[in-house]
Amino acid sequence: MNSASPSPEEVHRRLVAAYTEIAKLAGGLAHEIKNPLSTIRLNMELLAEDLAKSDSPRDRRALVKISLMQRECQRLQNLLDNFLNFAKLQTLQLEPCDLNEEIDRILEFFRPTAAEYGIEIVRYFDAELPSVVIDQEAFRGALLNLLLNAQQAMPDGGQLVVRTRPAGVGVAIELIDTGEGMDDETLSHIFEAFYSTKSGGSGLGLPTARKIIEGHGGRIRVQSQLGKGTQFTIELPTLPLLR
């Protein structure tokens, strides 16, 4: 072996350093864009208020254009928030937790949305589930992204099964929806940053969820059938091998 070639540990260290640098730059850029964007949004709102007082057809037309620009600004704002959330360098605060209880709390938060869209939530929780060590806030963010996707795949209602079970050296959480499902082409891209089939979707929900689950030493898998539904499976080790 060439004595100048770096060890695998050194290569890994350099990669992490390079990633950290890029993530910091990208995060800084997103922050820089957010400030002028808020000024634009605020002024747009003031302009809309002014024009709303007028009856002239020209002002009415201007108001329509402004509301389009306001929608696009909102979209940019969401994209930047999701991006900052995705790119942030998270140090996980790991604590032992009863996963069934934690999922119940998250479902409580999701229940009004489910009710609004006619989604029935069916829980199959294993009573003997071993306790896991997780960052509750990060885990909640990951699961909420998956729940939101399930809801968006079932705009006219359906069923969402949430199941927990012991699996291998840890636990598995399954989310099974009866939504629109995905074809193989879509399936091959869903964990790529910015890949979205939704108008206005940032395509960062699943990449963020995967990053969080993998940060816990776990993994996330998907199976889907077009027109039938989708199953996401999250596996978490009881004792995470932290990266």
Ligand X SMILES: Nc1ncnc2c1ncn2[C@@H]1O[C@H](COP(=O)(O)OP(=O)(O)OP(=O)(O)O)[C@@H](O)[C@H]1O
Residues that bind Mg ion (CB under 5 A): 149, 205
In 3D space, the residue among 92, 163, 150, 82 whose CA is nearest the CA of residue 122 turns out to be 163
CA distance 145 to 216: 17
First to last CA, the chain: 28
Contact status: 205 vs ligand X (CB under 6 A): yes
Q: Which does 237 bind (CB under 5 to 8 A by kind): ligand X, Mg ion, none?
A: none
Interior/surface letters 167-195, b for 16+ CB within 10 angstroms, e for the rest: beebbbbbbbbbbbbbeeeeeeebeeeeb
Which tokens belong to 26? 């990208």
Partners of 122 in the beta sheet? 161
Residue nearest Mg ion (C-beta atom):
205
Q: Which is nearer to ligand X, 158 or 240 (CB)?
A: 158
CB of residue 86 to ligand X, shortest distance in Å = 9
Q: Which does 198 bind (CB under 5 to 8 A by kind): Mg ion, ligand X, none?
A: ligand X
Interface characters, 65-104, with ligand X (x: CB under 6 A): -----------------x----------------------
Q: Which does 153 bind (CB under 5 to 8 A by kind): ligand X, Mg ion, none?
A: ligand X
Which residues have C-beta within 8 Å of that of residue 19, sequence separation ≥ 6? none
Q: Which is nearer to ligand X, 172 or 204 (CB)?
A: 204
CB of residue 159 to ligand X, shortest distance in Å = 12
CA 17 to chain centre: 25
CB of residue 195 to ligand X, shortest distance in Å = 6
- The residues binding ligand X (CB under 6 A) are 82, 145, 149-150, 153, 177, 179-182, 186, 190, 195-198, 201-206, 230
